[in-house]
Structure 1
Amino acid sequence: MIKKLPLIALVLILTTSCVSKKLYTDLENRYAALKKENRNLSDEKTSLSKSLATANSELATLRKNYEAAIAKRDQLQKDLDATTTNLDNLQKSYDALEQNSSSAIAENAKKNRELLAQLEAKEQALAAENARLEKLKKDMEARSQRIAELENIISSKDAAMSRLKDAISKALTNFEGKGLTVEQRDGKVYVSMENKLLFESGSWAVGKNGREAVKQLGSVLAVNPDIAVLIEGHTDNVPYTGSGQLSGNWDLSTKRATAIVEILRENAGINPENLTAAGRGEFAPVASNDTAEGKAKNRRIEVILTPKLDEISKLLND
């Protein structure tokens, strides 16, 4: 939770002194830049974590193949040693029998040729296994290096996302205690706004305080063009009983999400292609609908900020 003392001091100063509009605008722009940077890094972490798991799996396979190749190489070495021993024994026998008969000599010579052929084949197989072993070793080293790079990127993205999340929280301090929370989960930033901050019951028209909160969020999005923004509308499980333009809770949640999108689109710096509005109705609660407090938490707008992962994709495709 954001500490309130610095904010209270700032509010006292602003209410007792004359602050130029330019200074206020500069501070607001700094907050927007920080918020954008946090969102850019948020979703990259998720993709990096998935990429790291895939790379670790591939590394395990390479290690398994490497160990199998070593076992096969060792067996070939044993076979080679045994064949060499047999050849030496036959050579000694050949020398001993050389004086006995031409037929015995011919038989030993034949066996010698066979053993020599076997020895050559095993030497070739051993050379091939050694070459394959070396290739597996290089592949394993390359995979280990890629994993290290992914881990470094994840670590830096985590740190940057944490800084951005803190900056967003400070920027929205004025709405603390009014149904607004900012969280960092799974490499993304979640900005949750309860309906008491945004809408009247059964309405999708955004009130003054809610509009101000959304506009401040939009100022951050405007300087973060690589952030995908998903706006989800949620309701409690009380059936909608009104009439007119709404057909039910799902329709209401969709219209509320779309209302937030329309406010964000008022900021010319936000690319509409990055915005998505979705209605979830009552089907993604965060609390029990058995209590009034739980229902209030479920009636909300969630803005989910996901960074694009071009950097990670490039690393994985290289």
Structure 2
Amino acid sequence: MKKIVYITFVSLLAVACVPAKKYKELEAKYNKCQEDQASYKSQSIEYGNRLKEVEVELSTLKDAYEQLTSDTTKMMNDYRMLQTEYDRKVQSCSDLEKRYEKMMASGSQDMQKLVGDLEDTRVELQKKEDRLNKLEQDLIAREKAIKAKEERIEELEKVIKMQEKIVADLKAKITEALRGFADKGITVVEKDGKIYVSMEAKLLFPSGSTVVNNEGKGVLIDLAKVLQDQTELDIIVEGHTDSDPMKSSAHPKNNWELSVLRSTAVVEIMLGNSHMDPAKITAAGRSEFHPVDPDDKAKNRRIEIIISPDLKPLFDLISQSSE
């Protein structure tokens, strides 16, 4: 009896050996995908937050610049009024001095009063001159501050425009490369500074399969050729399924495995037909949990390629300019 059980066990082990090995390889790929996806998400959130901080700083600087310009205009008006008053006082002082000299020559009895008036005028004149000098220094300081803020605003606007241009140019190239497949379930949109290339699963895979068909390979190769020379990009390939459960005991056994295996198959084709940097691309599976249309399962079965400009060089530029 024991011998029969042993023979049966050995037979089953021989039959199951290949699927078990394949499963371990898939499980390793799946775990690696999850780690890469977590790392990418963390970097994406960090750079997204830093970009928002730059935009907030830019808005704050613009408000401060407008307020400073308004204050400076008012100060310039005050400066001109004070200069006019100062000139008037100088003339008054000169007139009093002439009267004083005339009275000294004529021996006028009003000499004492004139001396007092003259001294008061000189004191007031000195105060206004001191205020005028201080106001002039304040104007110089404010002009320097305005210039510094103008330069900072120009730098920040340049950085943001550079990032926007990179995304817009790349979207145009991708759209042109995939123009021939526009009516076959492919969309290219720009959102939040990223480019989303969405492909319906039927364009790439037979139902339930993880093997890309010939037409799908053509699409992926065309896209890879556009991206291969774009060195400062981070790319994540996401597999998505509908909510229907898998009915297979073989792999893929569930929607998680199906979504991961499909994204991995897409990545392998793109890397195998271009010189894209493997360190810049991540394969991930989202299963059925991110539908685009709850009422249309076909749209939910898709591959989504999310292309993000690498913002690190831009933030390095910001850091250097703020030191």
Q: Decide which of 275, 290, 297 is 1:269's aligned counterpart.
A: 275
Q: What does the per-residue CA deviation read over 1:231-257, in whole Å, with 9 as the maximum and x for residues that have no partner?
A: 122223345565566685445433432
Q: What does the per-residue CA deviation read over 1:48-94, in whole Å, with 9 as the maximum and x for residues that have no partner?
A: 99978865653443132012112123224334544554565577668
Do structure 1's residue 197 and structure 2's residue 197 form an aligned pair? no
| Counterpart in the other structure of 2:29 | none
| Counterpart in the other structure of 1:165 | 174
Distance in 1 between the 2:95 and 2:182 partners?
95
One-letter amino acid matched to 1:116: L
Deviation at residue 118 of structure 1 after TM alignment: 0.9
One-letter amino acid matched to 1:68: D
Q: What does the per-residue CA deviation read over 1:254-282, in whole Å, with 9 as the maximum and x for residues that have no partner?
A: 34323322333334612111102233333
Say if 1:231 and 1:303, in contact at 8 Å, map to a contact too.
yes
Within-5 A mapping of 1:236-315: 236-239=242-245, 249-267=255-273, 269-287=275-293, 289-290=294-295, 294-308=296-310
Say if 1:232 and 1:301, in contact at 8 Å, map to a contact too.
yes
With structure 1 as the length reference, what TM-score do the two structures score?
A: 0.62
Distance in 1 between the 2:142 and 2:206 partners?
69
Kindly indicate whether structure 1 or structure 2 has the higher relative contact order, using CA contacts under 8 Å at least 6 residues apart.
Answer: 1
Residue ranges of structure 1 left out of the alignment (5+ in a row)? 1-46
Kindly, what percent of the aligned residue pairs are identical?
A: 28
Distance in 2 between the 1:203 and 1:226 partners?
33
Say if 1:168 and 1:182, in contact at 8 Å, map to a contact too.
no
Deviation at residue 135 of structure 1 after TM alignment: 2.5
Query: Do the aligned partners of residues 65 and 242 (structure 1) sit closer, same or farther apart at CA in structure 2, a change above 3 Å counting?
Result: farther
Deviation at residue 301 of structure 1 after TM alignment: 0.4
Within-5 A mapping of 1:39-58: 55=58, 58=61
Do structure 1's residue 65 and structure 2's residue 74 form an aligned pair? no
Distance in 1 between the 2:157 and 2:280 partners?
31
Say if 2:89 and 2:125, in contact at 8 Å, map to a contact too.
no
Do structure 1's residue 185 and structure 2's residue 185 form an aligned pair? no
Residue ranges of structure 2 left out of the alignment (5+ in a row)? 1-49
Say if 2:175 and 2:188, in contact at 8 Å, map to a contact too.
no
Do structure 1's residue 112 and structure 2's residue 112 form an aligned pair? no
With structure 2 as the length reference, what TM-score do the two structures score?
A: 0.61
Cα RMSD over matched residues? 4.3
Give the 3-state SS of the residue equivalent to 1:281 in structure 2. Answer: coil
Q: Decide which of 126, 143, 158 is 1:134's aligned counterpart.
A: 143
Deviation at residue 127 of structure 1 after TM alignment: 1.5
Query: Do the aligned partners of residues 281 and 152 (structure 1) sit closer, same or farther apart at CA in structure 2, a change above 3 Å counting?
Result: closer
Deviation at residue 305 of structure 1 after TM alignment: 2.5
Larger Rg, first or second structure (1 or 2) = 2
Distance in 2 between the 1:159 and 1:73 partners?
44
Number of matched residues?
Answer: 264
